[in-house]
Amino acid sequence: MASCDMCGRQGSLVAAEVEGIGMSVCQACSKFGVVRKRADEVPVPQKKMHREPALRITENYASLLRKAREKKGLTQEDFAKYLQERESVVAKWEQGRMRPSVDVARRLEKLLGVSLVVEEVEQTFVKEKTRTEGFTLGDFVKIRKK
C-alpha cells in the first residue's frame, strides 16, 4: 500500500494539488488542496529493483600500490610529489590504513598500470516508505481546527 505524502497514513490515495504542489494524499488530507485524480486513477508505486554498479577498491590495494611504485623505481616522497599528495597519505595507502577514493584510484591505475577498482552489481529493492521511516509534511505542519 502507498502512504500519504502529508500524513503518512497507509491506504488509497488521490492525486491532489496542495498549495501548488502535486501530491499523492489520503482522503482526509485531500481537503487541503484541489483533487486532480481519484484513487482508481492514481497509479500505485510498485517495488522496483535497481541495478547500480558499485565501485570499490580491491582488498589488496596496499601491496599492489607498493609493488607498482617500487617497480617504477620511485620513493614514497617522489611518488607523492608526482601525485601532488602528501607523503603521509601515500604511506597510509601502502600500509593499508587508508583507502584512496575511487577517483584517485582510477588515476593511480593509469599512472601505475595496475587494477585497483572493481565494479560490482548490487541489487537493491526500493521498498515503500513506512510510518516510522522519514518525515512527511504532516510531521511539520500544525493543523488548526476551526
Is there a contact between 24 and 42 (Cβ–Cβ < 8 Å)?
yes
Is there a contact between 24 and 5 (Cβ–Cβ < 8 Å)?
yes
The tens-digit pLDDT sequence of the chain (146 residues) is: 678 888 888 888 888 888 888 888 888 888 888 888 765 554 555 555 556 667 888 888 899 999 999 998 989 999 999 888 899 999 999 999 999 888 888 888 888 888 888 877 655 555 555 555 666 666 667 666 66
Residue 96's Cβ-count burial label (10 Å; 0-12, 13-18, 19+) is middle
Question: pLDDT at position 11, please?
Answer: 80
Residue owning grid cell 488530507: 29
Pairing label, strands 34-37, 14-18 = antiparallel
Whether pTM exceeds 0.75: no
Question: pLDDT at position 66, please?
Answer: 92
Contacts of 32 (CB under 8 A, 6+ apart): 6, 16, 18, 25
Kindly report, as residue ranges, where domains of CATH 1.10.260.40 are found in the chain: 51-122
Q: Does domain 51-122 have CATH number 1.10.630.10?
A: no
Cell numbers representing residue 110 in the block: 593509469
